[in-house]
């Protein structure tokens, strides 16, 4: 009986075919409970450190062109809060026998804390925030004009607030109707019949796993196909254009940046599917009446795998984003002013902030040789590109500026 109740606390939605009462907590934890506390604290610690660093780094990036840095910041923030809650939950399990079991505090602990409602609430926020990021990337790549009008910073913040408040709505069901306190003991109550249990379990499965997977899958497949078509179109030009009219020499870099951002988010999506699919599918078959050993190794493996999803994202940022690593090193060296730039664009995530670095300087020299730029022009190109760029995006002076310069020269003559 006690094991069944303890096992139910690990699920996104807990229900039983008959009313089960949780026995009084013992002062000494069982070996399995101690192992669970240790796993919670380890996962939470990794998530706390990694996501805290990610929040600090992405909070310093404020792009005027897109809002992906803001959304990644909110993603890291949701995972950070989840990690903190996991650690606190593990600690409170050790001292559970000392916590109130009656009154308003005992009722709240029974309904919202021991059912792990708070943990899975922020897990749901993380899931739908990642879905929002995929939609943002889809509109930015497929519909850039609509993106420029709709995805302003103000609108993005509104979208984030909606996700945080309303998307975890399915998590409220069981704490409100499935648990109560009777004589100082947390009791699970039967709020619906077998059909209602199956219906709610399937509905939760569709809302928190299938819907995000379908939305993110469609978005990323469309993005990859679109970027692939653009890449093939650039490789096989149909019109010959002179170098001085070919546009900005930085466009290939921007395309590379867009592809890197998309691939990074695609990896996050794949990790989400890997981490949460086993637990969700196992749980939905239980709600449909299938057997499930809550003390078995498979069930505990799915729970740990799902919890681990909140701490893997910072490692993806570290491996995929060069500028993330650069900023972390600068932060560790207490050189925060070196990367505190309010107008930084998304391509700064993948390039050294010092544009005079050896790698970037050699790249500028190669571009200068191709387009026959002098050393002075090349230096001015790196310092003030906005002063030398033409309306078409070329780094060279426009025709109007050239004509004005010629007229002024004639007047002097």
Give residue 269's pLDDT band: very low, low, confident or very high (50, 70, 90).
very high
Q: What is the pLDDT of residue 206?
A: 94
Q: Is 302 exposed, middle or buried (0-12, 13-18, 19+ CB in 10 A)?
A: buried
Stretch 151-176: mean pLDDT, rounded? 89
More confident residue, 273 or 402: 273
pLDDT of 377 > 80? The answer is no
pLDDT at 287 over 60: yes
Q: Report the distance separating Cα 13 and Cα 283, nearest Å.
A: 8
Would the pLDDT of 205 be above 90?
yes
22 has a pLDDT exceeding 70: no
Contact yes or no for 139/147 (Cβ under 8 A): yes
Question: What is the tens place of the pLDDT at every residue in 75-121?
Answer: 999 999 999 999 999 999 888 888 888 888 888 998 889 888 999 99
Q: pLDDT band for position 294 (50/70/90)?
A: confident
- CA triple 105-107-113, angle to 5 deg: 85
Question: Does 410 have pLDDT greater than 60?
Answer: no
User: Has residue 311 got a pLDDT over 60?
Assistant: yes
Q: Is the pLDDT of residue 395 over 70?
A: no
**Per-residue pLDDT reduced to its tens digit, 211-231:** 999 999 999 999 989 888 887
Mean pLDDT estimate for the chain: 74
Give residue 184's pLDDT band: very low, low, confident or very high (50, 70, 90): confident
Name the percent of the chain lying above pLDDT 70. 66
pLDDT at 69 over 80: yes
CA distance 389 to 14: 61
**Residues near 74 by beta carbon (within 8 Å), at least 6 away in sequence:** 129, 160
How confident is the model at residue 305, as a pLDDT? 92
- pLDDT of 413 over the 60 cut: no
Position 233 scores a pLDDT of 77
The owner of tokens 């499965």 is 205
Distance CA 234, CA 251 (A): 11
* Strand partners for 181: 186
Angle at 240 between CA 235 and CA 246, to 5 degrees: 80
| Residue 397 banded pLDDT, cuts 50, 70, 90 | very low
* 3-class SS letters over the chain: CHHHHHHHCCCCCCCCCCCEECCCCCCCCCHHHHHHHHHHHHHHHHHHHHHHHHHHHHHCCCCCCCCHHHHHHHHHHHHHHHHHHHHHHHHHHHCHHHCCCCHHHHHHHHHHHCCCHHHHHHHHHHHHHHHHHHHHHHHHHHCHHHHHHHCCHHHHHHHHHHHHHHHHHHHHHHHHHCEEEECCEEEECCCCCHHHHHHHHHHHHHHHHHHHHHHHHHHHHHHHHHHHHHHHHHHCCCCCCCHHHCCCCCHHHHHHHHHHHHHHHHHHHHHHHHHHHHHHHHHHHHHCCCCCCCCCHHHHHHHHHHHHHHHHHHHHHHHHCHHHHHHHHHHHCCCHHHHCCCCCCHHHHHCCCCCCCHHHHHHHHHHHHHHCCCHHHHHHHHHCHHHHCCCCCCCCCCHHHHHHHHHHHHHHC
Can you tell me the mean pLDDT for 184-209?
Answer: 84
pLDDT of residue 37: 87
Cα gap 289→292, rounded to integer Å: 9
Q: Tokens 């993380």 sit at which residue?
A: 126
Pairing of strands 20-21, 179-182: unpaired
- Could you give the percent of the chain with pLDDT greater than 90? 30
């Amino acid at each position: 009986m006690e094991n069944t109740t303890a096992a139910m606390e690990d699920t996104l939605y807990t229900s039983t075919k008959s009313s089960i009462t949780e026995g009084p907590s013992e002062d000494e934890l069982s070996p399995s409970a101690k192992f669970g506390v240790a796993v919670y604290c380890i996962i939470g610690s990794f998530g706390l450190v990694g996501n805290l660093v990610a929040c600090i780094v992405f909070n310093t990036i404020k792009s005027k062109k897109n809002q992906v840095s803001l959304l990644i910041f909110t993603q890291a923030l949701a995972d950070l809060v989840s990690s903190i809650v996991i650690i606190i939950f593990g600690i409170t399990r050790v001292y559970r026998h000392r916590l109130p079991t009656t009154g308003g505090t005992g009722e709240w602990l029974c309904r919202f804390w021991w059912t792990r409602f708070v943990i899975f609430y922020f897990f749901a926020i993380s899931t739908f925030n990642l879905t929002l990021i995929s939609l943002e990337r889809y509109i930015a790549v497929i519909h850039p004009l609509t993106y420029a009008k709709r995805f302003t910073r103000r609108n993005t913040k509104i979208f984030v607030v909606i996700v945080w408040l309303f998307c975890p709505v399915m998590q409220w069901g069981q704490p409100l109707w499935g648990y109560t306190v009777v004589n100082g003991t947390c009791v699970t109550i039967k709020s619906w019949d077998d059909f209602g249990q199956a219906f709610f379990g399937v509905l939760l499965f569709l809302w928190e796993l299938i819907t995000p997977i379908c939305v993110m899958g469609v978005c990323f497949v469309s993005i990859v196909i679109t970027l692939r078509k653009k890449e093939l179109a650039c490789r096989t030009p149909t019109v010959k254009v002179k170098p001085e009219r070919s546009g900005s020499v930085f466009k290939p870099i921007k395309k590379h940046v867009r592809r890197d951002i998309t691939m990074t988010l695609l990896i996050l999506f794949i990790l989400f599917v890997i981490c949460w699919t086993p637990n969700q599918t196992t749980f939905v078959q239980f709600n449909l009446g299938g057997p499930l050993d809550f003390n078995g190794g498979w069930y505990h493996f799915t729970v740990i795998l799902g919890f681990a999803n909140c701490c893997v994202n910072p490692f993806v940022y570290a491996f995929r984003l060069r500028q993330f690593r650069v900023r972390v090193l600068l932060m560790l060296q207490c050189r925060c002013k070196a990367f505190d730039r309010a107008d930084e664009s998304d391509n700064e995530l993948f390039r050294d902030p010092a544009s005079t670095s050896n790698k970037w300087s050699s790249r500028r020299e190669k571009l200068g040789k191709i387009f026959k730029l002098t050393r002075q022009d090349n230096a001015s190109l790196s310092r003030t590109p906005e002063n030398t760029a033409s309306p078409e995006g070329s780094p060279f002076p426009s025709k109007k500026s050239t004509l004005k310069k010629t007229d002024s020269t004639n007047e002097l003559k």
